[in-house]
Amino acid sequence: MAKKKDDAAGRPRGGFKASRHGTGKASAAGPKAEQKRAAEARERSGARHESAEKSKYLRGPRIDPRAIDGSESAADLIDNAFLAYNAARLREACGLFTKKMLEPDVTVGMTLTGALTPAGLGMAALIPLIESGFVDWIISTGANLYHDTHFGLGLAMHRGNPQESDVVLREEGVVRIYDIFFDYDVLLSTDAFFRKIIQGKEFQRAMSSAEFHNLCGKYVREREKALGLGQKSLLSAAYQAGVPIYTSSPGDSSIGMNVAALALEGNKCLIDPSLDVNETASIVLTAKRGGGKSGVLICGGGSPKNFMLQTEPQIQEVLGIDEKGHDFFLQITDARPDTGGLSGATPAEAVSWGKIDPDRLPDAVVCYLDSTVALPLLTAYAHARHKKRPLKRLYDRRSEMMKLLRSEFERAGK
């Protein structure tokens, strides 16, 4: 094979392909002097720049937003101005959620970590998502459900200044969650409510956390009605809509602490984590059978994130049932994989565990953003761009879904 000759500057010839205009296509790997002269010649001639070749990497829409004038809806702002960096990831997340995850055949599971309900996001975002049929089941920290109950009991949370002295706040009987302030008696009153209802006859047995929260939601709803509050509590809304709510760590909250305190007095209420593991797996398996799909919306990380994603390894690795992983993956997080905070839960890494279907990686978005910013915007976008879905009422179908799981487990064992 003939060796290419070098140009006068010692660079290989043939690295700069001329276009029909004679100006050539520039590349950072091409001959710099020729590219510079071509650009200058084009500028002198007044010729309009045109790419010599259409790269597949340049097929995205041009960045050319209209000016923001205050007339935009939240959804319009996201579509028009969220064009790069994490703003673009949030736009992609909104698109994935509304265009794919909210299709009728998709079952949407959501996880909640961080103090979202104390900030009012239960009322502002989570209840609207449930009532519109946009979220079918939930895994939450117990703390989010405990602080959510304050609102259903008519107890007040206030905006405050995070720079205030915590010593002074303690003397004043004020509890602080960053910039959320509330009276210490809010905790005592909520504890008293849970201890009262958990002593009821229907609580005196082993149950999944979904059963426990459904019962709690019934009593919170009764209190809301008695106080004339309207729909303030996530627990209450989930009870009404038949949305099962699980918690991956039942003892890791004030609700669990009160259950434990009553156990010292002989109370028989027991939240069984094995029921939770199998029930959540049955939800995902049922979603995937018959051509359906499973989508996960992960707000934050922590134990609820893993509990949601482990449903697929439970089905495949532990129960031996043929499956491929969740179809849609949307995560809002401020954690990083290299520090361990996001370990095992980036979409690509989750593929190796069987948590995510490798064929569906394009349908995975990680938005590195505070959930208190992203969740209201995602909720507004979904309501603006998608009609309501019929409620799946998965809580009412738990026996049916567990029957399917047992059947496939037995078949796999044989």
List the catalytic residues.
355
C-alpha closest to that of 332 among 369, 387, 277, 306: 369
Structure tokens at 23: 């100006």
Q: For 328, list phi and psi in degrees, rounded to 5.
A: -130, 135
Burial class (CB in 10 A: 0-12, 13-18, 19+), 173: exposed
Structure tokens at 326: 């969740």
Q: What is the DSSP string of 358-407?
A: GGGGGGEEEEES-HHHHHHHHHHHHHHHS-------GGGGHHHHHHHHHH
Under DSSP, the state recorded for 357 is -
Under DSSP, the state recorded for 105 is T
| Separation CA 394–CA 308 (nearest Å) | 16
Q: For 25, list phi and psi in degrees, rounded to 5.
A: -105, 120
- Hey, what long-range contacts does 372-375 have (CB within 8 A, 24 or more apart)? 372/114, 372/116, 372/119, 372/121, 374/90, 374/93, 374/299, 374/332, 375/116, 375/121, 375/125, 375/126, 375/299, 375/332
Which one-letter amino acid corresponds to residue 183? D
* 3-class secondary structure, 414: coil
What is the CA 279 to chain-centroid distance, rounded?
A: 20
C-alpha closest to that of 241 among 223, 279, 275, 214: 214
Structure tokens at 283: 């939800």
- Hey, what long-range contacts does 71-75 have (CB within 8 A, 24 or more apart)? 73/380, 73/384, 74/377, 74/380, 74/381, 74/384, 75/380, 75/381, 75/384, 75/385
Contact 151, 126 (CB under 8 A): no
Instruction: Look at the chain and count its residues.
Output: 414
Radius of gyration of the chain (CA): 27
